[in-house]
C-alpha cells in the first residue's frame, strides 16, 4: 500500500497551524476545481488528493494518528526497510473501512460526487473507522455524510443602525429573498448566524449556515471604543471660565452637560448610559465621553482687547 504524504500534497510544513492548512487547501481547491478544469483527469485526481489531505490534516484526531504513522514509516525507511514490508496492521482503522466520498469546503460539487469517487485505499485502511457520520443504504454499503459549507457575506451598516438595530434583505439563488435582523450593539467583526442557509450537505448531511460579517462605518462625530463612545465638543471661553451648560448631541437625542467654572481645554466628561447598547443585553449601555475644546474668541474690538489686557494685569499682580 502506498503511503500518502498529505503535507506535501497541500504544500505545507508539518508544523503548519490550522489556518495555514485551510488557506493552502482553498487555494489548491480553486486551482484544481473540476469546474475550472473540465475534462482534465489529472486535475480531477489532484483535486481528490487535495480533499483527502485536508480531510486528515483538518481533523485533530486524524492528524495526530497520521503524524504518529508518518514518524514510524520514516524510521522504517531510514533503517533501510523496504516500504513494501512495512507493518500496516497496527494502524488499521477499527471496524470496516468506509467507502468515503470527497469532502469539499469550496464550491458546490453535489452533482460531481458520483464521478469523483471515494478516498484512496490508504485513507480507507487507516482512517475508515474515524470521523464523518456514516449512513447505511439498502444495499448495506456505507457513504460519508458531511455538513454543507458555511457561507460568509459582508454587510456595512452605519453607527446609528448599530445603535438601534436594523435589517438587511438578501437575495439568494432562484430569487428567494431572506430578511436578516441585525441586533443593536453589533460592532465591526460581529458575525450573525443564519442557520441552514449555507451550502447543501453531502451524502445526507445537514445544510451549512450563512454568516453575515458586520462592518460598522466610521461616524463623523463619534468614535467607538467597545460599547463606549467618544466625541469632542466646542465650548466658548466665557462658559469655560465662568461655568454653564452646553448641548451634547447623542445617538438617542440631545442632553445638557453642566460645565463647571474654570474648565480646561481637553477635559473629559462622562455621560453615563449614553453609549452603545451591549450586544447580549441591549438594555445595558456604555458611556459617552465628551472632550471639551475651548474656543478662543476672534476679531476682538479695541474695548475687548483693553479688557483682556486689564485681566492680564490683574492676574500678574
- Residue 257: CATH number of its domain: 2.60.260.20
The tens place of each residue's pLDDT in the chain, 317 residues long, gives 567 889 999 999 999 999 999 999 989 988 988 778 888 989 888 988 898 889 889 988 888 888 887 766 566 555 555 545 455 555 544 433 333 333 333 333 333 333 334 567 677 666 654 444 333 333 333 344 566 778 888 999 999 999 999 999 988 777 889 899 999 999 999 999 898 888 777 666 788 888 899 999 999 999 999 999 999 999 999 999 999 999 999 999 999 999 999 999 999 999 999 999 999 898 999 999 999 999 999 999 999 999 999 999 988 76
d(CA 16, CA 24): 10
Domain span at residue 163?
151-216
Give the number of domains in the chain.
3
Rounded to two decimals, the pTM is 0.55
Place of cell 445595558: 284
Q: Which of 216, 237, 258 is the last residue of a domain?
A: 216
Q: What is the DSSP string of 45-88?
A: HHHHHHHHHHHHHTSHHHHHHHHHHHHHHHHHHHTT--GGG---
Do 34 and 103 lie in one domain? The reply is yes
Do 66 and 25 lie in one domain? The reply is yes
Do 26 and 139 lie in one domain? The reply is yes
| Grid coordinates of 52 | 483527502
Q: What share of the chain is helix, strand, coil (3-state, %, to 5)?
A: 30, 25, 40
User: Cβ-count burial of 212 within 10 angstroms (0-12 exposed, 13-18 middle, 19+ buried)?
Assistant: buried
Q: Which of 165, 200, 216 is the last residue of a domain?
A: 216
Cite the beta strand spans of the chain per DSSP E: 133-136, 142-145, 151-157, 166-171, 177-182, 191-194, 210-216, 223-225, 228-236, 244-250, 253-259, 268-271, 288-295
Q: Which of 113, 145, 177 is the last residue of a domain?
A: 145
Amino acid at each position: 500500500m502506498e503511503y500518502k504524504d498529505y503535507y506535501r500534497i497541500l504544500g505545507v510544513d508539518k508544523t503548519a497551524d490550522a489556518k495555514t492548512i485551510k488557506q493552502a487547501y482553498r487555494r489548491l481547491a480553486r486551482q484544481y476545481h473540476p469546474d475550472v478544469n473540465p475534462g482534465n483527469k489529472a486535475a480531477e485526481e489532484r483535486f481528490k488528493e487535495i480533499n483527502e489531505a485536508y480531510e486528515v490534516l483538518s481533523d485533530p484526531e486524524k492528524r495526530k494518528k497520521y503524524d504518529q504513522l508518518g514518524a514510524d514509516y520514516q524510521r522504517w525507511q531510514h533503517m533501510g526497510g523496504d516500504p513494501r514490508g512495512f507493518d500496516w496492521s497496527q494502524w488499521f482503522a477499527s471496524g470496516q473501512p468506509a467507502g468515503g466520498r470527497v469532502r469539499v469546503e469550496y464550491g458546490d460539487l453535489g452533482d460531481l460526487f458520483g464521478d469523483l469517487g471515494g478516498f484512496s485505499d490508504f485513507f480507507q485502511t487507516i482512517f475508515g473507522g474515524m470521523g464523518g457520520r456514516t449512513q447505511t443504504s439498502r444495499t448495506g454499503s456505507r457513504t460519508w455524510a458531511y455538513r454543507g459549507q458555511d457561507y460568509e457575506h459582508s454587510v456595512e451598516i452605519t453607527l446609528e443602525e448599530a445603535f438601534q438595530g436594523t435589517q438587511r434583505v438578501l437575495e439568494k439563488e432562484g430569487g428567494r429573498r431572506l430578511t436578516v435582523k441585525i441586533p443593536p450593539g453589533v460592532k465591526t467583526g460581529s458575525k450573525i448566524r443564519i442557520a441552514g442557509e449555507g451550502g447543501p450537505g453531502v451524502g445526507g448531511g445537514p445544510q451549512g449556515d450563512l454568516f453575515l460579517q458586520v462592518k460598522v462605518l466610521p461616524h463623523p462625530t463619534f468614535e467607538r471604543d467597545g460599547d463606549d463612545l467618544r466625541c469632542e465638543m466646542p465650548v466658548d471661553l466665557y462658559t469655560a471660565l465662568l461655568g454653564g451648560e452646553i448641548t451634547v448631541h447623542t445617538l438617542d437625542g440631545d442632553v445638557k452637560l453642566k460645565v463647571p467654572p474654570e474648565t480646561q481645554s481637553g477635559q473629559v466628561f462622562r455621560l453615563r448610559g449614553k453609549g452603545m447598547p451591549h450586544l447580549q443585553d441591549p438594555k445595558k449601555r456604555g458611556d459617552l465621553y465628551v472632550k471639551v475644546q475651548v474656543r478662543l474668541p476672534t476679531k476682538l474690538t479695541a474695548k475687548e482687547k483693553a479688557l483682556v489686557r486689564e485681566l492680564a494685569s490683574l492676574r500678574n499682580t
